[in-house]
């Protein structure tokens, strides 16, 4: 049996509100586009606040790859120090017991990869296995969990899983595309960490599933530009989810569920989930996460899991997140009281 324990998060110090982001965006975009036509993006986003690694003034200027990645590495390490320390404060497992480290991210690059940085932050064994994973997007919250379960079953030692997404560092102030503007209304920053092991907790991982659709690469991802990553959002993503997701879920499991643990990718994504799952009340948890933290890519679904645990909901839950590929990550999770 596999259990998830020690789930912890760290957030940057800069908490901002949607009204501030809207004001900043008006400064940036009003001279180039009819910003009045874009204001509803902020009003309908479902986001009220979020955390950013930089103060708002930073986002007014253009930045190059070197600057973005320097900030990515520094802030990632700072956040992981906090979340990993908190994880091991919560559980009886020692750092020396860890057999593998998984690091999931889609918003920055570093070589040596960040899992090597994590290795040097704490007293891990020198033969610990390291697995850096880049490019899963929001699906990384579930797919990273699934990989951890696979590695745990293989090596028999606890696996540390770390997700860091600094989405705001990808914002490009000189780009006036609708996708770039939507990103200003949605994205936030955070890190998370937890351990997969046989140490009993109130969160047991029952089963997992992954599905990648053919010929769906254009739905979501990054374009690689001279100054950074440019966001790709296809307007048909919600319809694609509504039309295709239920068949995949039924292929994974047809057992009745007591609720859903979902990634908060945006209100249109959440509305698509409502159509699929019959407006189940637990979907509102994803809406609340979106409201408080924005879209934090792979960290988002783990924030939804934390809300489920803190609200002391019990039963069998379907954990679901979607990302580039186009790929669905699913996990069946049993929550105890």
**DSSP category for residue 78:** H
Would you say the CATH fold of 203-335 matches that of 2-197? yes
Confidence of residue 232 (pLDDT cuts 50, 70, 90): confident
pTM: predicted TM-score of the whole model, two decimal places:
0.94
CATH class of 2-197: alpha beta
Convert the pLDDT of each residue in 284-327 to its tens digit. 999 999 999 999 999 999 999 999 999 999 999 999 999 998 99
Mean pLDDT is lowest, of 74-78, 99-103, 271-275, for 271-275
pLDDT at residue number 15: 97
Q: Where are the alpha helices (DSSP H) in the chain?
A: 18-29, 39-43, 65-90, 114-121, 140-155, 178-186, 237-252, 267-277, 283-293, 300-310
pLDDT(31) > 80: no
Query: What pLDDT is recorded for position 337?
Result: 76
Domain boundaries, the chain: 2-197, 203-335
Q: Which letter does DSSP use for residue 297 in this model?
A: G
Mean pLDDT of the chain: 91
Output the CATH code of domain 203-335: 3.40.47.10
């Amino acid at each position: 049996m596999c259990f998830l324990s020690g789930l912890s998060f760290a957030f940057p110090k800069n908490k901002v509100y949607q009204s501030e982001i809207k004001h900043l965006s008006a400064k940036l975009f009003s001279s180039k586009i009819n910003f009045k036509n874009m204001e509803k993006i902020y009003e309908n986003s479902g986001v009220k606040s979020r955390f950013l690694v930089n103060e708002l003034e930073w986002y007014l200027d253009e930045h190059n790859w070197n600057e973005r990645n320097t900030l990515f590495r520094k802030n990632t390490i700072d956040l992981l120090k906090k979340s990993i320390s908190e994880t091991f404060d919560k559980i009886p497992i020692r750092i020396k017991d860890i057999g593998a480290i998984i690091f999931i991210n889609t918003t920055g690059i570093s070589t040596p990869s960040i899992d090597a940085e994590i290795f040097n932050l704490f007293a891990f064994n020198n033969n610990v296995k390291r697995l850096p994973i880049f490019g899963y997007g929001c699906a990384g919250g579930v797919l990273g969990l699934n990989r951890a379960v696979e590695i745990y079953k293989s090596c028999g030692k606890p696996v540390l899983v770390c997700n860091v997404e600094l989405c705001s560092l990808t914002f490009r102030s000189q780009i006036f595309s609708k996708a770039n503007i939507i990103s200003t209304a949605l994205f936030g920053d955070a890190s998370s960490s937890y351990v997969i092991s046989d140490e009993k907790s109130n969160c047991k991982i029952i089963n997992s599933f992954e599905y990648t659709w053919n010929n769906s690469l254009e739905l979501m991802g990054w374009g690689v530009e001279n100054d950074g990553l440019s966001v790709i959002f296809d307007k048909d993503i919600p319809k694609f989810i509504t039309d295709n997701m239920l068949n995949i879920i039924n292929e994974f499991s047809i057992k009745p569920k007591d609720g859903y643990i979902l990634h908060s990718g945006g209100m249109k994504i959440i509305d698509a989930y409502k159509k699929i799952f019959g407006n189940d009340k637990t979907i509102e948890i994803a809406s609340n996460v979106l409201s408080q933290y924005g879209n934090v890519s792979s960290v988002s679904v783990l924030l939804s899991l934390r809300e489920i645990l803190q609200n002391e909901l019990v039963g069998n839950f379907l954990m679901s997140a979607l990302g580039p590929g186009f790929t669905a990550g699913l996990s069946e999770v049993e929550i105890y009281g």
